[in-house]
Amino acid sequence: MYEEFFGFSGKPFQLSPDASFFFPSKEHKRALSFLEYGLNQGDGFIVITGDVGTGKTTLVQTLLETLDPREMLVATLVTTQLAEDDLLKLVAANFGLRPHASSKAALLGDLEALFVQQARERRRVLLIVDEAQNLPAKSVEELRMLSNFQLDGKPLVQVFLLGQEEFRATLLSEGFEQLRQRVIATYHLNPLSEDETLTYIEHRLHTVGWENTPSFHESVYPAIYDFCEGVPRRINNLCDRLLLFAFLEEKTELTAEMVEAVAQEIGTEFWGGRPAAGAEPVEEAVAPNDVFKTPGQPLETMARVMFDKANVQQRLASIERAVDGLGHSLSPAIDQLREELAYVRLMLEGLVGDKKITKGSDDKKTG
């Protein structure tokens, strides 16, 4: 609608994921490095988490653009609120099979036969599961069972799991130890910084031929960041409506006042409003050993406490540096990654052990 008015070749802020608009922020580049590393390993699970709208799907689409379909068979699941048998049928359908098998065992046999055939044709198999936080526990277990398929000691299928922050808590919960052992890389995608928000907006505009029409007053970018908090999908939503507003008002310069007007409209229409300006966020401090003691403690908080401990962050930073150096010295970097991941796993298992100890102590007291 406004594209012709501003001389754009297309919509710069469409909400649907599009790899052609991929913006390589610091976070997205690191996450992409983890995906590429995991893909090169050809084994296990890669987990990418992030809040709604942080660009997980676009990230994977960008990776897929680099793959040769003659060498890789890829299937993507988006609908994940399914029982385990239905999930397997959906996996089979997305790989091109007609899931007419009368039993689960027969369905698994059909999938294994397909994977073996692909391996013999020198094609790898990749399953991408989006919205993984919606997967029931039994369905997650079925995905893990797919990783058991092997030929000549090599896995036949690799799985990427994309989910919101609460999926991290799922992975840390009881009953998922075997899956955790098969996760070879994981990354949490954070929102853009304020500087990156400016660059992100201009990147998308330049992609459709922007030549400074409309122009942006210097106060516009901070105003957009304050409202969107660096979340790409929110930025797209706001900027799209902002350009529409400017078109209807026949304005060729965007101002902070215009951002405020559009933001107020969107705030109640789409996001149910936000805290008043200047309001301090309320966040309860929870010590690691107290995480499991508080009845009703949100799983999201449990995951945040576990994953955001300083030691874990330092170790993950070491992993990131190792990934960055893969191109220079592959073997030593892999050894370092294994050591660091082993440390993180032991630390997380220790936290789960604290839970069991605490529960045992409480049982004795009540006894």
* Segment 245-264 mean pLDDT: 94
Pick the range with the lowest mean pLDDT from 192-196, 229-233, 297-301, 331-335.
Answer: 297-301
- Exposure on the CB side of residue 249, measured as CA atoms within 13 A: 15
Residues 64 and 177 placed together within one structural domain of the fold = yes
Which residue range is the domain that position 260 belongs to? 3-18+192-269
* Segment 78-91 mean pLDDT: 81
Q: Match 């999938």 to its residue by tokens.
A: 111
Kindly list the distances between the CA atom of residue 307 and the CA atoms of 176, 280, 287, in Å, as whole numbers in the listed order: 16, 23, 13
Task: Answer with the one of 204, 237, 269 that is the final residue of a domain.
Answer: 269
| Predicted local distance difference test score (pLDDT) of residue 136 | 86
Is the model's pLDDT at 248 over the cut of 80?
Answer: yes
Is the model's pLDDT at 239 over the cut of 80?
Answer: yes
Decide which of 221 and 324 is more confident.
221
Decide which of 353 and 195 is more confident.
195
134 falls within a domain: yes
259 falls within a domain: yes
Using left for φ > 0, alpha for ψ between -120 and 50, and beta otherwise, residue 296 falls in left
Pick the range with the lowest mean pLDDT from 182-191, 221-230, 252-261, 324-333.
Answer: 324-333
Structural domain count of the chain:
3
Out of 93-97, 114-118, 349-353, 362-366, the most confident range is 114-118
The Cα 15–Cα 184 span in angstroms is 31
Residues 14 and 58 placed together within one structural domain of the fold = no
pTM of full prediction above 0.75 = no
Residues 153 and 259 placed together within one structural domain of the fold = no
| Predicted local distance difference test score (pLDDT) of residue 351 | 54
| Predicted local distance difference test score (pLDDT) of residue 349 | 55
* Segment 261-282 mean pLDDT: 58
Task: Answer with the one of 189, 207, 232 that is the final residue of a domain.
Answer: 189
Task: Answer with the one of 173, 189, 205 that is the final residue of a domain.
Answer: 189
* Segment 188-210 mean pLDDT: 96
Burial readout 312-322 (b: 16 or more C-beta within 10 A, e: otherwise): beebbebbeeb
Q: Where are the beta strands (DSSP E) in 178-324?
A: 183-189, 215-216, 253-254
| Predicted local distance difference test score (pLDDT) of residue 84 | 76
pLDDT tens, position by position, 217-232? 999 999 999 999 999 9
pLDDT bracket for residue 269 (50, 70, 90) = low
Q: Where are the beta strands (DSSP E) in the chain?
A: 45-50, 72-77, 124-129, 150-151, 154-155, 158-163, 183-189, 215-216, 253-254
| Predicted local distance difference test score (pLDDT) of residue 127 | 95
Using left for φ > 0, alpha for ψ between -120 and 50, and beta otherwise, residue 247 falls in alpha
Residues 227 and 353 placed together within one structural domain of the fold = no
pLDDT bracket for residue 313 (50, 70, 90) = very low
Is the model's pLDDT at 308 over the cut of 60?
Answer: no
Residues 53 and 110 placed together within one structural domain of the fold = yes
According to DSSP, the residues that pair with 154 across neighbouring strands are 151
| Predicted local distance difference test score (pLDDT) of residue 224 | 96
| Predicted local distance difference test score (pLDDT) of residue 11 | 95
Residues 121 and 255 placed together within one structural domain of the fold = no
122 falls within a domain: yes
281 falls within a domain: no
Residues 234 and 155 placed together within one structural domain of the fold = no
Which residue type is seen at 181?
Answer: Q
